[in-house]
Amino acid sequence: MGAEQIRRWESGALAHAVSDPFGQGPLPWLRGSENYFDDTGQVVPWYADLARSTGGGTRTADDVHRQIKGFVSPGAAAPGEAIDFHITVDPPQQFSVDVYRIGHYGGDGAAKITTSPRLSGIVQPPPLAADRTVSCHHWWMSWRLQIPSYWSVGAYVAVLTTADGYRSHIPFTVRHDHPADLLLLLPDITWQAYNLYPEDGRTGASLYHAWDERGRLLGEEDAAVTISFDRPYAGAGLPLHVGHAYDFIRWAERYGYDLAYADARDLHAGRVDPSRYRGLVFPGHDEYWTLPMRRAAERARDSGTSLVFLSANTMYWQVGLAPSASGEADRLLTCRKRRGPGKSALWREVDRAEQQLLGIQYAGRVPDPRPLVVRNAEHWLWDSTGAVEGDEIPGLVAGEADRYFPRTSLPEHDNRILLAHSPYEDSEGATRHQETSLYQAPSGALVFASGTFAWSPALDRPGHTDPRIQRATANLLDRICKRD
């Protein structure tokens, strides 16, 4: 294998550049200084090796040498519960864990909550692999974080740093079941579907890719069917698309929305009671859904809880969750993608098209960002945005797009409206269009679907923010939360 290939794998850029038009750098969670700016004051992408580029500072661990990598179990816990860290350190040495909470925090994007004592790192056994399923469930526990009762619920990032300056990350969630206006559901199932760990040119596999014996990257037909949550995330340890959720969190907390937090697996396992919330918010790319997740969302809508989908390509693949080898629930994710026995894994091919819940559904990829074209500008969603009929909001149709399919049935509704109709060219040069949808269910619940990857980044990502999208989102959430 050539040195150039190894460098590409070590950078972590391959796994995190699959389909995110915004990339992952600058680091999508922390905006403070702490080694994410170079000596000239310029923001450095999260996969940059600062020791090589500036002559000092921390360096990002990689999946080839595994200087420090880890995962947690479970991925979400409540105050008073514990989260176990499973970490490998090579060569063995001391390391520490800094825990940050994502939020606005005066524009910093996160705040440090606690730091572990100095911990003794060991080289854990290599990942186990069987039929493309890669698992590290046999790793010893390295540290147990007992979540104090006074910690705020939210999205957290653990930053692992070795004594010789290598760094990696692990995301996790602190949740509770107290009532709130909005419940934010982090798409951990979709995050794992894209996880290529270990990105080493040999072992790693996701639902999209695997490697052959010559180190070549293979496509979906040769990818994994079952993947494990018991492994780190590839590259720097942050999932693909994680920044989309963090964009929403920073914006929503800045403006004081009353948020609770949970993961997709919490929705799957029945740990979410929708009656405690005015709305459920799905802030980022949320492509992989289990049947219990869909049933829970439908029950929420039918009982009057609104649903807000801020990305595209939502609920496209039907998946299953199963226990790990040690018996821990919901640690294995399976999606056959039309391979092997059983029904197709596409919701729309088992007569449960996603449009029947969302109001629109996945139409395809958008090769280059295009403007979102405002439609029905007199609607209250566009109030005080300054938008008029036909206005174009640059770059807001990006990554992937949804639209209304006339031959697919709609959900039962009292009223329904399309709030954008945006042309774009697909990869073959054919003209397609994106649409943004809002309908009101008979229960009174509102169901909004943005139909584009770019909506959440427009709320709070440098270089992508747009005041019209910020105001429109506030109009929607204020109505759901019944703010004046």
Q: Are 38 and 54 in contact (CB under 8 A)?
A: yes
DSSP string, 211-234: E-TTSPEE-GGGS-SEEESSSPPS
Cα 141 to Cα 440: distance, rounded to the nearest angstrom: 48
Q: Which residues contact 187 (CB under 8 A, 6 or more apart)?
A: 241, 245, 264, 282, 284, 285, 286, 287, 288
Judge contact between 270 and 299, C-beta under 8 A.
no
Query: Is residue 53 within 8 Å of 88, Cβ to Cβ?
Result: no
Dist CA 12 CA 32 (whole Å): 22
Ordered by start, the domain boundaries in the chain are 3-228, 273-316+354-481
Residue 484, CA distances (Å) to 179, 318, 481 in order? 20, 39, 9
Domains 3-228 and 273-316+354-481 share a fold: no
CATH of domain 273-316+354-481: 3.40.50
Other beta carbons less than 10 A from residue 214's beta carbon? 8
pLDDT in tens, the chain (484 residues): 333 443 344 434 444 443 445 554 434 555 544 444 444 444 443 333 444 444 455 688 889 899 999 999 999 999 999 999 999 999 999 999 999 999 998 888 888 999 999 999 999 999 999 989 999 999 999 999 999 999 999 999 999 999 999 999 999 999 998 999 999 999 999 999 999 999 888 899 999 999 888 888 888 889 999 999 999 999 889 888 888 999 999 999 999 999 999 999 999 999 999 999 999 999 999 999 999 999 999 999 999 999 999 999 999 999 999 999 888 999 999 998 867 666 568 999 988 999 999 999 999 999 999 999 999 999 999 999 999 999 999 999 999 999 999 999 999 999 999 999 999 999 899 999 999 999 999 999 999 999 999 999 999 988 889 999 999 999 999 999 986 5
Q: Which two tokens stand for residue 261?
A: 């937090």
| Sequence-distant (≥ 6) Cβ neighbours of residue 407 within 8 angstroms | none
CA-CA distance, 141 to 159, in Å (whole number)? 17
Backbone angles phi, psi at 146, to 5 degrees: -85, 115
- Global confidence as pTM: 0.91
- What top-level class would CATH report for the domain 3-228? mainly beta
Helix axes 242-254, 467-481, angle to 10 degrees: 70
* Closest of 38, 69, 71, 70 to residue 55, by C-alpha: 38
